[in-house]
Amino acid sequence: MGELFTSSLSILDFVTIGLAAMAAGLINAIAGGGTLISFPALVAVGIPPVAANITNTVALVPGYLGATFAQLKDMKGQERRLWLLIPAGVVGGVVGGVILLNTGEKLFSDLVPYLILLACGLLASQDVVRKWIKSRAEAAGSGATNEAWTIVPIFAAAVYGGYFGAGLSVIILAVLGLVIDENLTRLNAIKQALAFSVNVAAATFFLFSGHVVWVAAGVMAVGALVGGNLGGRLAGRIKPQVLRAVVVTIGVIVALIYLFR
């Protein structure tokens, strides 16, 4: 099915989605929320929402991989947590993928603006979540919660991630901060590993769905890698709060267009 859309894409379309993926990679490296740029771009060039969502998931895997490797050192000593939570992320990602493939094109299209608005809300609250986690970690020390309880909300977050994905990192970080007494840097490392596992599980499941527009995914993967590298170099020069505000504004505008078109 994905091959059918490839023939209808022009050179300008490929340039558009390549630049969108580059922007998404840069945004993800600095502030998060790049999916709010890359997914609408795919829909704008004529790819149906379900296929666009699936193609976007597959295309952005390299970006999640890079973010995970960047924080490997902060995962040392947290192997037990990873063994506990990654399976929940993998299973949840696949379940979300199954639900997506069994959602009709019209229903998913109707849900898209609300999913984008939800992602915008999550992205806008990211700093609040981080401050709350930091203050909680500083006040922690008495009667830690059993970390095994994290499996259930992580699974639920992973289902959402496999279904749509935008804002997944914020959900995971909030869940981890609620249950695990740890500093923000090490929680962020677990978040990277979990987001990667969810994305890879869903992407692997989608490989055989027939909905991946492979040429578009390839162009976007290259763009995302370039953008991620550029974002890493610019991370100290651009305020994440400013970039996040821009992305949220764009996301809200896109959602309103979907609602009222």
Read out DSSP for 29-47? HHTS-THHHHHHHHHHTT-
- Those residues with Cβ within 8 angstroms of residue 222's Cβ, 6 or more apart along the chain or in another chain: 18, 21
Which has the minimum average pLDDT: 75-84, 91-100, 219-228, 239-248?
239-248
Residue 204 confidence class, pLDDT cut points 50, 70, 90: very high
Residue 28 confidence class, pLDDT cut points 50, 70, 90: confident
pLDDT above 90 for 143: no
Extended beta strands in 30-101, E state: none
pLDDT above 60 for 142: no
Structural domain boundaries of the chain? 2-260
Mean pLDDT across 1-20:
78
Residue-wise pLDDT for 241-257, tens only, equals 887 888 888 889 888 88
pLDDT above 80 for 110: yes
Mean pLDDT across 44-57:
91
pLDDT above 50 for 40: yes
> Average pLDDT of the chain?
83
Q: What is the pLDDT of residue 158?
A: 93
Residue 180 confidence class, pLDDT cut points 50, 70, 90: confident
Full-prediction pTM beyond 0.95?
A: no
* Higher-pLDDT residue of 126, 111: 111
Mean pLDDT across 70-83:
83
State how far the Cα of 144 lies from the Cα of 1, in Å rounded to an integer. Answer: 50
Which has the minimum average pLDDT: 56-60, 88-92, 93-97?
56-60
Mean pLDDT across 128-135:
77
